[in-house]
Amino acid sequence: MLQANNNLQRVQNVKPDIDKLIDQLSTQRVGLDASGSDIKAQIEGLKQLISLAREAANRLALCFLCILCKTTIRIGAKTLFSAFAS
């Protein structure tokens, strides 16, 4: 019986610390969730910027190729780039 009371007393002594740690973890989780959402949005923005940069680089490469080859790029009746344009 004495051992049971001692064990119960030890549990009651550490319970406030455990409760405090649980509260801290909950608070930290909320902060981490918010940070994760922000990072995800920033990554999506970076993906869009990378896509735009690739498109621009591809257009430039195509224009330089046209200049080197002295050609014109057309799709249907629309001229996309002409090395002969003034």
pLDDT tens digits for 22-31?
999 988 998 9
Q: Write out pLDDT tens, residues 2-50.
A: 888 888 898 899 999 999 999 999 889 989 999 999 999 999 999 999 9
Tell me, yes or no, whether 85 lies in a domain.
no
The structural domain count of the chain equals: 1
Tell me, yes or no, whether 43 lies in a domain.
yes
Tell me, yes or no, whether 54 lies in a domain.
yes
Place of tokens 């057309």: 74
Contacts of 79 (CB under 8 A, 6+ apart): 72, 73
Residue 33: CA count within 13 A, CB half-sphere: 6
What is the pTM for the complete model shown? 0.55
